[in-house]
Amino acid sequence: MKKCLLFIFLLCLGLTQVQAQRRTLTGLVKEKASGEPLPGVTVQERGTTNGTVTDSSGEFQLEVETGATLIFSFIGMEPVERRTGESNRIDVILETATEQVDEVVVTAMGIRKEKKALGYAVQDIGSEEIVRNKSANVVNALSGKIAGVSVTQSNGSAGSGAQIIVRGGTSLERDNQPLFVVDGVIYDNSTPIGGNSGFDGATRNSTTFGNRAMDINPEDIENMSILKGPAATALYGSRAAAGVILITTKKGQEGDVMVNVSSKFTASWVNRYPEQQDRYKRGFYNSAGVFSDFTTQSWGDPFGSGDVMYNNIEDFFQNGSTWDNSVNISGGNKNGTFFLSASRFDQEGIIPETGFEKSTFRFNGDQKFGMLTVGANVAYSVSGTDKTLTSSGLWGAGGNGAMTAVYGWARSENMKKYLNEDGTKYRMFEGRQPLADDVENPYWIINRNKLDDQTNRFTGSTFVNLDIADWFKISYRLGYDNYTKNDYTFIAPGGAVSETYQNGRLSESDVTYEYLSSNLMLTFNKKVADFDFNLLLGHSAEDTKTATQRRTGYNFITPGVYSFENIGNEDKFFQSVHSQKRLMGVFSEFRAAYKSIAYLTVTGRNDWTSTLPDNENSYFYPSVSGSFVFTELLPEQHAVSFGKLRASWAKVGKDTDPYVTTTSIWAPREFLGGIGVGNSWTRGNPYLKPEQTKSVELGLEMRFLGGRLGFDYTYYSNNSSDQIVTPRLSQTTGYILLSTNVGNVINKGMELSINATPVMTKNLTWDLNLNLSGNRGTVENLLTGQEVLYVTDVQVGNAKAASFNNGKFMGISGSQWSRDESGNLILDKNTGMPTSNNSTTNYLGNREPVFSGGLNNEFKWKNWSLSVLFDIRIGGDIFNGTDYLMTQAGMSKRSLDRESLTLAGVVAVGKDTDGNPVYEPASFTYQTGQSYDITTSSGAVQRRYGNDIIREYWSTYYPLETANFITKTNWLRLRSMSLSYNLPKDFFGTRNVFKAMSVTVSGTNLWLLTNYKGMDPETSVAGSGVVGSGSSGIDYAGVPATAGVSLGVNMTF
Amino acid sequence: MNFIMEKIKYISLIVVLAWSFSSCKEWLDVNENPDYPTNEVAAVSSRLPWIQHHYGYAYGAASTRAAMITGTISSRLFTGNNGLLPAWNPTNSASVTPYQHWFVGSAANLEDLRVKAEAEEAWHYLGAAYTIRAMGFMLMVDWYGEMPYEEALSSVLTPAYSDGKTIFEGCLADLETALEYFQMTQPSSATPLSEGDSWNNGDVQKWIRLVYGLKARWLNNLSKKQEYDPDAVLAALSNAPQSNAEGTIINHVNDPSDMTGDVLIGDPLKTSYIFNTAAWSDWARFTRWYVDLLENTFPGGSGIEDPRASKMLPSNQHWDRTNGVYTPRFIRTKGVDAIHSNIRLQNGPIISNYTTGSKSYSVNSTDPARKGDTIYVNIRALCGMTGATTEESTYTDADGTILSTGTFYTRPESPTDVITYHEMCFIKAEVLFRKGDKGGALAAYQEGIRAHMEQMNSKLREYAGSVNPGKQPMDETVVEDFLGSAAVAQNVSELTMSKIMQQKYIAMSFTQQNWNDMRRFNFSAGNIGDFGVVYTDFDRPMEFSSDAARKMPGASKNEVNYWFRRMMQCSHEVNYNSANMEASNPKAFADDIWSVPVWWDEEN
């Protein structure tokens, strides 16, 4: 990077005049870290305009007055002052600046800017940080490290996706994940689901799906820059309301060819299991007190001394292991560079028979021909996941997922027994119920059924840069992103699924994504006196096509051969779905800078989209931002070394999906009356407008004590209006869904990061970085009568992920027990059970944390370095759907309390003169082993057994108070820790094959302190890619999260 | 200089590239879905099958649920709708399907059909559309009492509710509009109604009969109201079907290739709706109350078995073994006594299993109370989706043993009665009985029974060749003997409203109208006019629980809210239209909304 800056710096330097001769000094400037000579360093005589720069070998020569002080400065390095003495030679070593005043970051459209010129917050992380605790999913590298960025891992299964949200979601019902841009080309990070609930039963929470940013090899990344607010992303227009993650991959450096090899082994295990009861066996007592074992639930007798108790949950999981190897070769000369890499990631999951594997290849190269530079970035990856059905079976096909069964399996049963001695299927209720009604044994599911996916992806761009003059440049980039994901789902014959599929079922789907972009930019700059002007003009065009081909079939004719060819034509179905959208934009950015004091940026972009109606498809997005470095006006001092105020205003937006402006009709079907067609249940809307997000952002950045301590504070307020939502409607409209513009999402928040270097000695440095952020997402102006918007994929029992009108964006809705005005429980006067109205629309919690953050500590001692990252979350509700499931099954620890049940509250005893109910206190107690006469309101008397009443309380009445399963969750976790040792240069003696070598031991998720009972609270039932307020904060029978340790070696030669 | 010229070439290349992308409007014109046509293009003849099917499914799903509520069938299940409805302990998940199939499946297509039909002057399609619109909304009144109507199917996203009276009157007005269209002559260029009409194959005269039949049914449903006009009912009857041949009956088929499924539920598209919702799997069991009706074994019954009993109740095949030889015989189901026995409270009935080896039935339970549950025969039948490979739907074991003969109205190929002559006869009997014309009532009553039996026999004759005894016609002499027996009122002194309605109940088994009729007579309260107890021996099920008592809190049969009188609005209304729903009825969200009468059921 520094060498890139050299060129810019030389341009900026302008003319240097040689003063009256005194004497000529020579010298060499080196960089401390590498020991290499440093070209391009400014050498200036203090108080004069006399100066020069070091040449390509780091040497300089300058005539100065005797006794003059020389200032050596270079972007990103601590400036050094030296008084000249007797000697004619001065050698200087520059260190990386702790106070990176002139730090350069990558901003929208890949433009590198000085950080102090920015009127908005941008944070970036470099390759070292990305690789330190690398996982297969590059999104995880941001976890806990960037203020305002929240990353939620779906679950602990191999190859599962992670969701990333920047500053809260801006859309009620669209994907709120930021745009990914890799080397200037938009990179798809969707989470494609090959199948479809209506076609082959595939749903988001039926198995594991990965987000496609996983196709990037983290080792290839040089830098990730996070553009958080609309002002930062305005140049991307309608694609960037949710923020942008800019990824720059590595390129070769001028010099020797370098080879870098790294290898890492990771062992992982479940970090937390759900709590399960350890006292009761399978079975239940009915109302007459008759025991029955005709249930999978655990409402039976206590374990006796001779009974075996199984730990089915812990036995089911295994330790996972991962091999992660990568190699890259890079090099270059004055006119060209290249970077070649390959990697292989091979993971065995914590569930037997599951895993994830990925191979990647990359070539980056560029070549200069005079003022012309051409180059290419090309990557290819193949990844695959072996997975299992998780929290539900396939929709419409009956059956259950492995994980729901694991958590509910009675401990008096050996879950491992899924086959009889003779190899046939073992069924708990053979002859007592149809196969379709069975709860499928998880071992059957993982051993017989087969689910996998494979993705082949090619991404690439070619670019041309023309440096016409030092004030005028042109660059053009053609980008391409193409992948095909194949999903394969095989349900073995004999499964506990609906009759139709009991002879086996096979589904395959191929999702093809193809994206082509063209981007032209012209940049001009001009310096007038103390002003620096910069103008950018650009044009971009994008074409995105997707196609999904699905096949499904059932009834294999010849047993043992599971192929479509072995299925009769009448049992085979296919579906073929396509979509295309196009977007064109022209954009411009104007920048003005006054000295190093004040900066102003104005941008504008106009987009035309294919997806909106003709009269609404053109829209303009402006932004203005500025920064003011007020310390430049103060006398130079050590205590307050840097201070900057920044402010921005911007408007960006989102268009919509293809084909939502018209109502389509269903594929034809054959009825008694012949071939018939009918309207889709989604109503088209020819009046749609783009969504708009308006944003204001203010910030203050200060550094003290020569940069040893600093903070960066941001306040923002985003208002996203004209939300394109497809709400579920009263079906009396004739439709289930309709796309329309309604509602505002308002996000307000603060971000604070504090950097400090408490210790900096010759051998030991300790850097710490604390970042904290809090976002408040709220919703306004929804349709009257539609006070709640649900996330379709995220509904567990009565609990749903929901956004409330004039309320929280990330709410949880559910049902409640009825209470009187003083808050007493209203009990049924006959049974004593809590009563409930039937409404499940009550606001019961907010999944958004009060604040969250990360604390990163880095210690360097000689060749050792230790990095410790904590992450913290305070507040934010989580619905424990796993415990809800286990409570109903009699497996939860909370249902241990079942020998006796006392319910206290009030009962209605009549009505007052106004017709309002009158309540009296009442209390009911039920004991196991006893029977009770319960009068019904019709006067009949029913005799009921205590065990039956208590079971019914736990499985039916207790869950009616959804809040019983909601926890306001705090956590402090040791997100990652790594210790590495860089072998000294002379370690290998004089036959120095290695340029560098390091060994790293690291751990992830090793420690977690939380008030949440159950599995790791960082979970989201439906994984990445869920729209709207997402599924984070809803825990339902997911694969438990993992902890792990790894050992890695990194060699450069 | 050359060098710069070269640069200019590059620059112009880039600019040209950029501009070639930017010739804007056409390039952006890609928003037409390549896979699905839009709503504007579908032909009237392809709309009608879709509309008819989804209305039919809504009515069928409502009818199966009504059969649970009115005690035709009970269940071996205790949870879910099919377990809770027979217990009279409903949840509003039971009320989704008729609503969704009507509005989303059927009604959403009416406006597009109207536009197309008007454009080509296909008046008869408009007649059909108005008829079905009236039928769908009347089902909504029968089920839910209130429903968005004036604002339904419009651009309003949260439609306000209309009261029952408004909808009821609107439906009658739609019938008048339908008649006007049916009486118009279509130009020859217009699509003939025969394309796409599976109800009457485009026979406009039958459609007119259908419209009058509906009018008679609905006007008669006003029997509790001051508006009730017996003469208007009779006037409608005079134009309604006058013979079995003039009725509208959907003739379903069991086509093994009928595998695509509808878009809402995924059920087959040609099979009978009662099959789809009641006999798809093995859960339903007939009740003792219903068996008593067919065997005339209810208190005061003649004890003479109705010849329809063996067609409308299932049997299964048993094997008697003598000297190692197996001889088959069929045993008809017993009825589950849900009203008077505690069987459901004792976790019964449970599933009965047939074992090929011993050729016998057994239950897998150690509970002595459950050992006898093999006497209850299921009504399962098979369609293509559940394993039928031919048109034969009979549920058999691998050894060919018939595990259930099925029943007349619950097979995939069973008919769905839309409007029948026998219903007209029973309406006429009721009206004349009310007017005091006992002789006319008697004749209509007897004609109704006979017409239903003849209707059944003509269908059963179509099954010729089936080994299933349930699919063979009734012996005509047995029919005649029965019609002349003490089971049937033979003179005016024997005729009671109870007898009329019992026979109507049998003839209209598995229809929503049976629930309507029961409500009109307050079930077995015996407090309507001087008719006495109309539905003899009927009561809430024995298992009626304290939970159910919150929904139907009445303590005695005379109280209106003792009975199951409507459905609560489904979750889609609760969740997405709550403000309007709240305004629709003071008890819309109350637990006891289930026992609030719908408009025509309210006495005024």
Q: Is the pLDDT of residue A345 over 80?
A: yes
Kindly report which listed range (A388-392, A456-460, A817-821, B128-132) carries the lowest average pLDDT score.
A388-392
For the segment A863-884, what is each residue's pLDDT rounded down to a tens digit? 899 999 999 999 999 999 999 9
Is A288's Cβ below 8 Å from some Cβ in B? Answer: yes
A941–chain B nearest CA distance, Å:
10
The number of C-beta contacts closer than 8 angstroms across A and B is 317
**Contact call for A936 and B545, based on CB within 8 A:** yes
B157–chain A nearest CA distance, Å:
7
Nearest CA in chain A to B591: A837
pLDDT band, very low/low/confident/very high, at B16 (cuts 50, 70, 90): low
For the segment B307-340, what is each residue's pLDDT rounded down to a tens digit? 999 999 999 999 998 888 999 999 999 999 999 9
Rounded CA separation B41/B49 (Å): 16
DSSP per residue over A124-163, as a string?
Answer: EEEHHHHHHT--S-GGGGGTTTSTTEEEEE--SSTT--EE
**Contact call for B104 and A673, based on CB within 8 A:** no
For the segment A621-673, what is each residue's pLDDT rounded down to a tens digit? 899 999 999 998 888 777 888 999 999 999 988 888 899 899 999 989 999 99
B186–chain A nearest CA distance, Å:
20
Question: Structure tokens of B533?
Answer: 């107890």
Containing B11, the helix (H) or strand (E) segment is helix B2-22
Interface of A with B in 658-697 (CB under 8 A): 658-659, 661-681, 684
Which own/partner contact pairs does A48-53 have at CB distance under 8 Å and 24+ positions apart? A48/A19, A49/A16, A49/A17, A50/A16, A50/A17, A50/A18, A50/A19, A51/A16, A52/A16, A53/A9, A53/A10, A53/A13
For the segment A245-277, what is each residue's pLDDT rounded down to a tens digit? 999 999 998 888 999 999 999 999 999 999 999
Taking CB atoms and an 8 Å cutoff, what residues of chain B touch A372? 7, 10
Question: Structure tokens of A261?
Answer: 């090899």
Rounded CA separation A114/A481 (Å): 30
The pairing of beta strand A669-671 with beta strand A674-676: antiparallel
**Contact call for B353 and A934, based on CB within 8 A:** no
Across A554-580, average pLDDT: 92
For the segment A58-68, what is each residue's pLDDT rounded down to a tens digit? 888 888 887 78
Interface of A with B in 352-411 (CB under 8 A): 370-372, 396
Rounded CA separation A908/B313 (Å): 45
Kindly report which listed range (A256-270, A284-298, A938-952, B84-98) carries the lowest average pLDDT score.
A938-952
Taking CB atoms and an 8 Å cutoff, what residues of chain B touch A610? 28-31
Rounded CA separation B122/B187 (Å): 8
Would you give the DSSP letter of residue A633?
Answer: G
For the segment A93-112, what is each residue's pLDDT rounded down to a tens digit? 887 665 444 678 888 888 88
Across A736-750, average pLDDT: 91
The residue among B575 and A1035 whose pLDDT is bigger is A1035
The 3-class SS string of A696-758 reads: EEEEEEEEEHHHCEEEEEEEEEEEEECCEECCECCHHHCCCEECEECCEEEEEEEEEEEEEEE
Per DSSP, helices labelled H in A810-922 are 881-888
Which pLDDT belongs to residue B576? 85
Question: Structure tokens of A768?
Answer: 């710490």
Which pLDDT belongs to residue A6? 39
Which pLDDT belongs to residue B7? 59
Question: Per DSSP, what are the bridge partners of residue A362?
Answer: A341, A379
Which of the listed ranges A703-712, A870-879, B383-392 does the model predict with the highest average pLDDT?
A870-879
Identify which of B177, B104, B158, B92 has the alpha carbon closest to the alpha carbon of residue B136. Answer: B104
**Contact call for B574 and A681, based on CB within 8 A:** no
Would you give the DSSP letter of residue A926?
Answer: E
Which of B7, B28, B33 is the closest to A659 by Cβ? B33
Kindly report which listed range (A309-313, A511-515, A656-660) carries the lowest average pLDDT score.
A656-660
Residues shown for chain B? 604
For the segment B145-195, what is each residue's pLDDT rounded down to a tens digit? 999 999 999 988 889 999 999 999 999 999 999 999 999 999 999 999 999
Rounded CA separation B507/B485 (Å): 18
The values of phi and psi at residue A337, to 5°, are: -135, 160
Which amino acid appears at position B449 of this protein?
Answer: I
Which amino acid appears at position B102 of this protein?
Answer: W
Which of B14, B148, B257 is the closest to A476 by Cβ? B14
Helix/strand/coil for A559: coil
Is B555's Cβ below 8 Å from some Cβ in A? Answer: yes
Across A810-838, average pLDDT: 91
pLDDT band, very low/low/confident/very high, at B226 (cuts 50, 70, 90): very high
A483–chain B nearest CA distance, Å:
21
Which pLDDT belongs to residue A937? 59
The residue among B62 and A191 whose pLDDT is bigger is B62
**Contact call for B550 and A937, based on CB within 8 A:** yes
List C-alpha distances in Å: B521 to B222, B555, B563. Answer: 11, 18, 11
The pairing of beta strand A92-94 with beta strand A23-31: parallel
Taking CB atoms and an 8 Å cutoff, what residues of chain A touch B550? 828, 835, 937
**Contact call for B157 and A740, based on CB within 8 A:** yes
The 3-class SS string of B90-131 reads: CCHHHHHHHHHHHHHHHHHHHHHHHHHHHHHCCHHHHHHHHH
Q: Is the pLDDT of residue A3 over 70?
A: no
Percent of chain A residues past pLDDT 90, beyond the cut: 57
Is A286's Cβ below 8 Å from some Cβ in B? Answer: yes
**Contact call for A288 and B346, based on CB within 8 A:** yes
Q: Is the pLDDT of residue A889 over 60?
A: yes
Question: Structure tokens of B168?
Answer: 């009821």
Which pLDDT belongs to residue B3? 52
Q: What's the pTM value of the predicted model, to 2 decimals?
A: 0.79
Q: Is the pLDDT of residue A391 over 80?
A: no
Cβ atoms of A671 and B54 within 8 Å: the answer is: no
B201–chain A nearest CA distance, Å:
8
Question: Structure tokens of A238?
Answer: 């309608």
For the segment B59-89, what is each residue's pLDDT rounded down to a tens digit? 999 999 999 999 999 999 888 889 999 999 9
Tokens 């007579």 appear where?
B521
Interface of B with A in 437-496 (CB under 8 A): none
Rounded CA separation A551/A543 (Å): 27
Would you give the DSSP letter of residue A558?
Answer: S
Is B46's Cβ below 8 Å from some Cβ in A? Answer: yes
Identify which of A781, A808, A812 has the alpha carbon closest to the alpha carbon of residue A795. Answer: A812
Across B339-365, average pLDDT: 90
Mutate to test the interface with B, among A297, A670, A671 (most CBs of B within 10 A): A671
Which pLDDT belongs to residue A12? 36
Is B270's Cβ below 8 Å from some Cβ in A? Answer: yes
Is B18's Cβ below 8 Å from some Cβ in A? Answer: yes
Rounded CA separation A52/A67 (Å): 18
Taking CB atoms and an 8 Å cutoff, what residues of chain A touch B270? 670-672
Average pLDDT of chain A is: 88
Containing A844, the helix (H) or strand (E) segment is strand A842-846
Is B1's Cβ below 8 Å from some Cβ in A? Answer: no
User: In angstroms, what is the C-alpha Rg of chain A?
Assistant: 32
pLDDT band, very low/low/confident/very high, at A4 (cuts 50, 70, 90): very low
Which of B21, B252, B578 is the closest to A785 by Cβ? B578
ipTM of the complex: 0.93
Nearest CA in chain A to B588: A838
Which pLDDT belongs to residue A841? 86
pLDDT band, very low/low/confident/very high, at B472 (cuts 50, 70, 90): very high
Which pLDDT belongs to residue A389? 84
Rounded CA separation A487/A508 (Å): 5
Taking CB atoms and an 8 Å cutoff, what residues of chain A touch B154? 733
Across B135-139, average pLDDT: 98
Which of the listed ranges A396-410, B202-216, B353-367 does the model predict with the highest average pLDDT?
B202-216
Question: Structure tokens of B323?
Answer: 């000297």
Rounded CA separation B512/A389 (Å): 40
User: In angstroms, what is the C-alpha Rg of chain B?
Assistant: 28
Q: List all residues 6 or more positions away from B539 whose beta carbon is below 8 Å from its beta carbon.
A: B339, B523, B524, B557
Which pLDDT belongs to residue B13? 58
Kindly report which listed range (A151-155, A380-384, B97-101) carries the lowest average pLDDT score.
A151-155
Nearest CA in chain A to B17: A518
Which pLDDT belongs to residue A238? 73
Across A571-583, average pLDDT: 92
Which pLDDT belongs to residue A11? 36
Which of A582, A608, A939 is the closest to B555 by Cβ? A939
Is B351's Cβ below 8 Å from some Cβ in A? Answer: yes
pLDDT band, very low/low/confident/very high, at A990 (cuts 50, 70, 90): low
Rounded CA separation A785/A369 (Å): 66
Interface of A with B in 703-762 (CB under 8 A): 727-736, 738, 740
Across B109-115, average pLDDT: 96
Rounded CA separation B442/A494 (Å): 58
pLDDT band, very low/low/confident/very high, at B131 (cuts 50, 70, 90): very high
For the segment B244-255, what is each residue's pLDDT rounded down to a tens digit? 999 999 999 999
Which pLDDT belongs to residue B19? 57
Mutate to test the interface with A, among B575, B592, B593, B594 (most CBs of A within 10 A): B575
Taking phi over 0 as left and psi of -120 to 50 as alpha, with beta for the rest, A589 belongs to beta
Q: Is the pLDDT of residue A15 over 50?
A: no
For the segment A421-474, what is each residue's pLDDT rounded down to a tens digit? 999 999 999 888 889 889 999 999 999 999 999 999 999 999 999 999 989 999
Q: What share of chain B is helix, strand, coil (3-state, %, to 5)?
A: 50, 10, 45
Mutate to test the interface with B, among A733, A736, A782, A903 (most CBs of B within 10 A): A733
Question: Per DSSP, what are the bridge partners of residue A28?
Answer: A59
